[in-house]
Amino acid sequence: MHVLIVGAGIAGLSCAFKLSESDAYTQGLLKVTVLEASGRVGGIIETDILNDCILESGPDSFITNKPYMLDLAARLGISKRIIPTEAKDRGAMVVSDGKLQKLPEGFTLLAPTKVLPFLQSPMLSWSGKIRALCEIFLPAKNMHSKMDESLADFVRRRFGRELFERLAQPMVAGIYVGDAEKLSASMTAERFVNFEQSAGSVIGGLMAEQNVSGGKTSSGNQSSLGVRYGLFCSFDRGMQFLVDTLVDKLKDAGVEILLNHPVKQIVESAGKWQVADIVADHIVLAVPAAVSARLIKDCAPELEQELGSIEAASSAVINMIIDWSDIGARLDAFGVVVPEVEMKKLGLSVIALSFASKKFSGRAPGDYLVLRAFVGGSKNSALLDRSDDELCALVIADLVKLIGYRKGAAPSFMNVRRWPNSMPQFHVGHRQLLARIESKLESYPHLGLAGASYRGVGLPECVNSGELCAEKILKAFTGRQLVV
């Protein structure tokens, strides 16, 4: 039985690897082919090493509260190459009135869990702080209607407008580069939405969770530190190491990976799938939903409409190597997020900054900082029409304002990596959309969908989506063998 996987990102490679581990594959009963339109594998994972600096143009880490990446690394035999974030300076800073302020201790993405540090923070007015802390006394929303709401509406309803604008909006924008007025609360802040329903309030649920865990996460790190930085890990030579290891294992197993093979059309006939001159029994589309919609428009038009409604945002990552002596501000965090209100007031272009060599050890020699700047996103897409040189100039100007970068100084290295339509936007109603997609997929038992467009943008979710497609194929194969 021939399985064709379209897309050699982490989801497609994980699907192929799961299939290659099966008894059916090792017995020669399965053939697996991976098609990739570009000239490289890995999708948005891309690591470069320059002058002893490790530069990530895509995701630089993965979260370990979901087991899928850890399990994959164990099966690949590279668990010992996983490294945690540095223990020092965990947390984020937020631009407030033009200054960098450390996120209050105990603030977790959308909500405070420690009263005193939150009250002492200068980022909100006293009225804003009191309104936010009143959340614990607010009644939970009646969810019998199962109606979704935007992330912005959820945060304003529970914590007030000021906390949303000053803290929640920039934190979420740093992850999804999206518009909180459109993003689904149940998809992008599911943990907090569930706390409202299970504990009666978000703050109450977070505090109860800390009491149960003794204030520690599953990794033994204090859970009050910002966005649970103790749960994030990478590989000692960057995220590309995972991709390279996967490819080596797949090639050793005889899986065919064809680069520079763009798919223009998929034809379905008599239970088979045809792409150019390749005919397969099963096909897995491990590409963005909009691409999948275009590929299946002739053979599954009712599915095309649903997939085509999943939007994606474009962004760019500017990597640079900076001499520490050229930085005037004290950078005692892993990065900076910038509220929209501050971007407008200060004329800034960056959504966020990441101090990559502070976040993970071994990323740069001691005299240098590897810094990543993020621009674009759904609300600032016009910036991406500018040239690389213009984007670099804008980022440098922002660094002068934000981290005291010395005027006239120049990074020893600087480059721009653009990611068009690479970040799925889970808009209000996305969960209901997924239900419709799954219902219509039942009519196509030999078609699988994998990747970040559906249930999560994190790397573990992408791995899991690919492996679930593989399990579906193996289950169908076993059923066919029993029938025969």
Could you read off the pLDDT of 138-180 as tens digits, one per residue? 999 876 556 899 999 999 999 999 999 999 999 999 999 999 9
What's the pLDDT at 255? Answer: 98
Compute the distance between CA of residue 16 and CA of residue 235 in angstroms, rounded to an integer.
21
Please state the pTM of the whole predicted model. Answer: 0.93
> How many helices, marked H, and strands, marked E, lie in the chain?
19, 22
Query: How far does the chain reach from its first CA to its final CA, in angstroms?
Result: 13
Q: How far is CA 45 from CA 20, 62, 195, 467, in A?
A: 22, 11, 33, 18
Tell me the percentage of the chain whose pLDDT exceeds 90: 89
What's the pLDDT at 34? Answer: 98
What's the pLDDT at 182? Answer: 97
Q: How far is CA 47 from CA 196, 239, 357, 390, in A?
A: 39, 6, 14, 24
Assess if CATH 1.10.1240.10 describes domain 107-223. Answer: no
User: Quick one: average pLDDT of 24-38?
Assistant: 96
Which range, of 45-54, 228-237, 352-361, 445-454, averages the lowest pLDDT?
A: 228-237
433, 434, 437, 441: CA torsion to nearest 10 = -170
Compute the distance between CA of residue 211 and CA of residue 37 in angstroms, rounded to an integer.
50
Give residue 204's pLDDT band: very low, low, confident or very high (50, 70, 90).
Answer: very high
CA–chain centroid gap for 14, Å, is 17
Compute the distance between CA of residue 376 and CA of residue 349 in angstroms, rounded to an integer.
8
Look at residues 156, 435, 429 and name the one whose alpha carbon lies nearest to residue 311.
429
The full 3-state SS of 327-386, as one line of letters, equals: ECCCCCCCEEECCHHHHHHHCCCCCEEEEHHHHCCCCCCCCEEEEEEEEECCCCHHHHHC
Q: How far is CA 346 from CA 143, 341, 379, in A?
A: 40, 9, 17
48 CB neighbour count, 10 Å cutoff: 15
Average pLDDT over the chain, rounded to whole?
Answer: 93
Domain boundaries 2-42+238-311+426-483, corresponding CATH code: 3.50.50.60
The answer on pLDDT for 483 being more than 70 is no
CA–chain centroid gap for 265, Å, is 28
User: Quick one: average pLDDT of 440-466?
Assistant: 96
Q: How far is CA 348 from CA 98, 308, 434, in A?
A: 10, 33, 36
User: Quick one: average pLDDT of 392-414?
Assistant: 97
Tell me the percentage of the chain whose pLDDT exceeds 70: 94
Q: Taking the CA atoms of the chain, what radius of gyration do you get in angstroms? A: 23
pLDDT in tens, 260-290: 999 999 999 888 999 988 999 999 999 999 9
CA atoms within 13 Å, Cβ hemisphere of 290: 11
What's the pLDDT at 225? Answer: 34
The answer on pLDDT for 219 being more than 60 is no
CATH architecture of 61-88+313-424: Alpha-Beta Complex (3.90)
The answer on pLDDT for 430 being more than 60 is yes
Q: How far is CA 465 from CA 18, 441, 454, in A?
A: 11, 15, 9
Compute the distance between CA of residue 348 and CA of residue 338 in angstroms, rounded to an integer.
9
Per-residue burial over 336-353, b = 16 or more CB atoms within 10 Å of its CB, e = otherwise: bbbbbebbeeeebbbbbb
User: What is the residue extent of each domain of the chain?
Assistant: 2-42+238-311+426-483, 61-88+313-424, 107-223
What's the pLDDT at 221? Answer: 40
What's the pLDDT at 144? Answer: 56
